[in-house]
A = this chain, B = another copy of it.
Amino acid sequence: MTTAATDKRRVILDAAVRVFARQGFHTCRVSDIADEAGVAYGLVYHYFSSKEQILDTLFLERWDVMLAAIAEADESPRAPQDKLGAIAGFIIDSYRHDPDLMKVIIVEVTRAANTFGLTHLGKIRDAYAGIAAIVAGAQQEGRFRTDVTPEFAAQAFYGSVEQVLTGWIFDSTPVGEEELERAKTMIVQTICCGLELQSTGPGKKSA
């Protein structure tokens, strides 16, 4: 059944990403999506039960992939720094691959505390929990400091990544490949090693 039928569904979803990214979920009309997809208005309702369900579908499709990426990083035998690097890399690559989709997910779902945020709160929390698990593991191995809770560290880490993406989303000039790659290492550097210069020897600052 992966014929014209499923194709049109996909066409509508892809059009919705572009329209949501351009105009925002609340501001756009369903007819905008239909027009963008080159499809009759009614067909949207043949494949989706509501405007909201389109956004839900887009979010879940992508978020489930991310949860898998987080789980995979956690299970890998790498150092915790590299696990976090893998997650940051995955998110940044997601942006590279489809900036519009990431914009929609971040702006319309992840940060929308009222409407959709609440619907998908569980899924969103799963992501934080996965990151927190990595931090907790690193603490137990004595590799990460224990005076910052894993939950807090997860928020700080994810927040940094999302904020960097938000910066790109808002930015009028497109982001270069180089900058994307550079961001990956800078995130890990900042969160794992901190901004302070490790004053090796003289003025030692204790926690």
Contacts and interface: CB of A to CB of B under 8 A. Distances in A.
**Chain A interface SS verdict (over half):** helix
A195 B198 CA distance: 13
A65 interface: no
A6 interface: no
Given A152-B164, A156-B164, A192-B194, 17 more contacts: A24-B115, A27-B114, A27-B115, A106-B111, A107-B113, A113-B169, A113-B170, A124-B170, A144-B197, A145-B193, A145-B195, A153-B195, A155-B164, A193-B194, A193-B196, A194-B194, A198-B198
Contacts of A31: none
Interface string A144-159: 1101110011011011
A41 to B, nearest CB: 22
Given A112-B24, A159-B159, A148 B189 contact: yes
Tier of interface size on chain A: 35 or more
A118 to B, nearest CB: 8
B197 A143 contact: yes
Interface of A: 22-24, 26-27, 81, 103, 106-107, 111-115, 117-118, 121, 124, 128, 135, 138, 142-145, 147-149, 152-153, 155-156, 158-164, 166-167, 169-170, 183, 186-187, 189-198, 205, 207
